[in-house]
Chain A
Amino acid sequence: MKPLVVLAARSLWNRRGGAALTVFAIAVSVTLLVGVETMRSGARESFARTISGTDLIVGARSGPINLLLYSVFRVGDATTNVSWQSYELVSRHPDVAWTIPISLGDSHRGYRVMGTSGDYFLHYRYGNRQDLRFSAGGPFKDADDAVVGAEVARALGYSTGDEITLAHGIGAGSFAPHDEHPFRIAGILAPTGTPVDRTVHVSLEAIAEIHEDWQGGARSLTNPARHPHDGDDPEGAASDAGAQAVPAGITAFLVGMRSKDAVLQMQRALNEFRGEPLSAVIPGVALQQLWQIVGVADRALLVIAACVVLAGLIGMLTSILASLRERRREMAVLRSVGARPLHVFTLMVLEAALLALAGVIAGVAAAHAILAGVAPLLASRYGLFMASAGPGVYDLLLAGAVVGAAILAGLVPAWLAYRNSLADGLTIRT
């Protein structure tokens, strides 16, 4: 076996121009596959890291995924609000450790604005129960303060003390500006790799204040968009908010329980709440459900990458098959010095295996070199954290799979060479 490996390697080296191209094709495909898979697991991990430490997300009655999307990922909108009374009721419950109100509906230059309380900066957790940290400034102190996420600050070039105005509605060119109420940036959050980075945070009081003159006013006639803050306000509370603005309703709220045992009980109680129709979801469960939907896209990506590897192997098969004709002489010489047809067969399989092995090693090395190079950028810009810095078990499995597939592919030219070698014998055909 060992002399055959040496022979196969020498023979390949002799044809190193063509062999290098084959190895390169396999390497590129393997780089792609490793890259896609690493990004995939990074994305999955980042996704699961979006929210942690929160036991329940509560919003108006809707599906768990919808609730998760608008409350955590800032995607889509709530159909209705949760009344402030219900929120107060839950937050005063003896089993509840903390609550974080969330009020959505405004935007700032394409970034969502979230009204919340100071508890947000105390209790919100992401990733592995990491809390929010400030890269500059601190939490908002009054209704004129805003706290922006890392990406907002980076993309718009904000620093603490800058003044910004919010716009009503969502989208870059929002419907109407709340320009009579400017905000001062009190703090900038450190990057989290979660939607927090793309959020402008203000106090609930600020949300109430900037909307109070909108109640039934002339401007709302010129603005056909439904206002998420007042549409479901049964008492019109915001209109008489006065100096101390109390929100009539909020979009959703996060709940932390004193004991994990109480989570399911509280979830059931909220889902059966008689005061108004509510939905309470456990973030981990909802994240998993959402991933099953989102995951389809990245599974498709993986399938494509695997197909590219397959194409690389087919390229290898083609080049080996093309070389068979000119190598019949080589096979006849080997037969004349005592090689059996089985040796010829093994030689061809080994050749395929060596090509694939070289391609896999080069591909995995290149993939990890590239990933190491872009990892800081991915982490800071897109919040994608690569789990594995270096080659791991996955790469070994991949290498095994690719070399295995190459050996299977190599059986075809090996069988042809075997048959040629039986038929040709020692006759050297030129």
Chain B
Amino acid sequence: MIELAIDIEGLAFAWSGGEPVLDVPQFQVRRGESVFLRGPSGSGKSTLLGVISGVLAPGRGRIGVLGSDLGRLTGAERDSYRAAHIGLVFQMFNLLPYLSVLDNVLLPARFSAVRRQRARPDAESEARRLLAELGIPAATVTGRPATELSVGQQQRVAVARALLGRPELVIADEPTSALDSDTRDAFLRLLMAECAAAGATLLFVSHDTALGTQFDRRLSIAEINLAEPHREPA
């Protein structure tokens, strides 16, 4: 059993021809740990998440994620690696408007055989169980577009999708910024409870320091990224 979910050493990343955005000498997250990563926009956190989730090819360094060095994988291999092992939750607009809630949650199982096989007893049952645990009314799960739900409910659906098929690592990028304070706290509790129940490592990124109290560990991005902060190309 590999102890580290994320094990980065000497990572450097720059957009083509630009200033270095990332300069991370070392960043480690243990398996099962929940980590709160705080940083303002422009601090390179989205780029870091892109590298960890295998979307961006690292310029230099060892990007150990769940025992694999992403720097040595091809683009296609990183894609299937992400599909199989990483669940992602974004700030907003996580759901495809033309699919039902259930079909949105089932998407990882459609693209990854690993996620499909790990779902117990099967993908649809697990999706319905996760949705029920996250408080999505069963009546809204099929038959109408997912985007008819409230923003808070949509974010919880995104969590269910990120957890389907028990990926080892869940990355959440500002998932609460579109929520009001009441739903935000409830959302956070549910997210952490579900990750703990699934045994998933949680990497949570936000600029809102007030959220960090419930996490195993809190970090500022400035502590791990030594590159000068500047605007991200987004």
A and B from one complex: yes
Contact between chains at B98 and A426 (CB < 8 Å): no
Take A3-B110, A426-B53, A426-B90 as given contacts and tell me if A338 and B82 are in contact as well, using a CB distance cutoff of 8 Å: yes
Answer whether residue A273 sits at the interface, using C-beta atoms and an 8 A cutoff. Answer: no
Residues of B within 8 A of A135 (CB): none
Q: Let me know if B46 and A427 touch, CB within 8 A.
A: yes
Q: A13 and B93 in contact (CB under 8 A), knowing A338-B107, A426-B49, A426-B88?
A: no
Shortest B22–chain A CB gap in Å is: 14
* Complex contact A426–B108 (CB within 8 A): no
Assess whether B83 is in contact with A337, with CB atoms less than 8 Å apart. yes
Question: Which of B2-10, B72-80, B205-213 contacts its partner?
Answer: B72-80
Q: Is B161 an interface residue (CB 8 A)?
A: yes
Closest to A14 in B: B98
Contact segment of A339-347, A393-401, A403-411: A339-347
Q: Do residues B79 and A430 form an inter-chain contact, with CB atoms below 8 A?
A: no
| Best-surrounded residue of A11, A330, A340, A343 (most CB of chain B within 10 A) | A340
By size class, the interface of chain B is 35 or more
Instruction: Assess whether B25 is interfacial by the CB under 8 Å rule.
Output: no
Task: Report A-chain residues with C-beta under 8 Å of the C-beta of B82.
Answer: 338
The residues of B that contact A336 with a CB separation of less than 8 Å are 53, 88, 90
Given contacts A338-B82, A340-B79, contact A13 B98 (CB under 8 A): yes
Q: Is the CB of A338 within 8 A of B97?
A: no
Min CB distance B58 to A, Å, is: 13
- Note all chain B residues with C-beta closer than 8 A to A11: 96, 98
Does B149 make an interface contact (CB < 8 A)? no
What chain A residues lie within 8 Å of B119 (beta carbons)?
Answer: none
The answer to whether A338 and B50 have CB atoms under 8 Å apart is no
Q: How far is the CA of A309 from the CA of B91 in the complex (A)?
A: 43
Interface of A is mostly: helix
The answer to the question of A325 belonging to the interface, with a C-beta cut-off of 8 Å to chain B, is: no
A93 close to B (CB within 8 Å): no
Known contacts A425-B50, A426-B50, A430-B93; is-contact A338 B55 (Cβ 8 Å): no
B112 CB-CB contact with A under 8 Å = yes
In the complex the two chains form, what is the Cα distance from A342 to B111 in whole Å? Answer: 12
Q: Would you call B108 and A329 a contact (CB within 8 A)?
A: no
Chain B residues whose CB sits within 8 angstroms of the CB of A430 once the complex forms: 93
Measured between alpha carbons, how far is A336 from B171 in the docked complex, in Å? 10
**What chain A residues lie within 8 Å of B79 (beta carbons)?**
335, 338-341
Residues on the A chain within 8 Å of B83, using CB: 337-339
- Cβ-neighbour of A337 out of B46, B56, B111, B173 (below 8 A): B111
Give Cα A430–Cα B161 distance, bound, in whole angstroms. Answer: 21
Q: Write out, one digit per residue, whether chain B residues 26-58 have a CB within 8 A of any chain A CB (1) or not (0).
A: 000000000000000000001001100101100
Q: Is A268 an interface position by the 8 A CB rule?
A: no
Query: Which B residues touch A333, using CB under 8 A?
Result: 90, 93-96
- Among B55, B84, B91, contact of A335 (Cβ-Cβ < 8 Å): B55
21 contacts between A and B (CB under 8 A): A7-B96, A7-B99, A10-B99, A14-B98, A333-B90, A333-B93, A334-B96, A334-B107, A337-B107, A337-B111, A338-B80, A338-B82, A338-B111, A339-B79, A340-B76, A340-B80, A342-B76, A343-B111, A422-B75, A427-B234, A429-B234
5 nearest A-B pairs in the assembled complex, by CB-CB distance: A338-B83, A14-B98, A338-B111, A425-B55, A337-B107
Give B residues with C-beta under 8 Å from A. 46, 49-50, 53, 55-56, 75-76, 79-80, 82-84, 88, 90-99, 103, 107-108, 110-112, 115, 145, 161, 173, 234
A10-B96, A336-B88 known; 9 new pairs, CB 8 Å cut-off, are: A10-B99, A14-B98, A333-B95, A334-B96, A334-B107, A336-B90, A338-B82, A425-B50, A426-B90
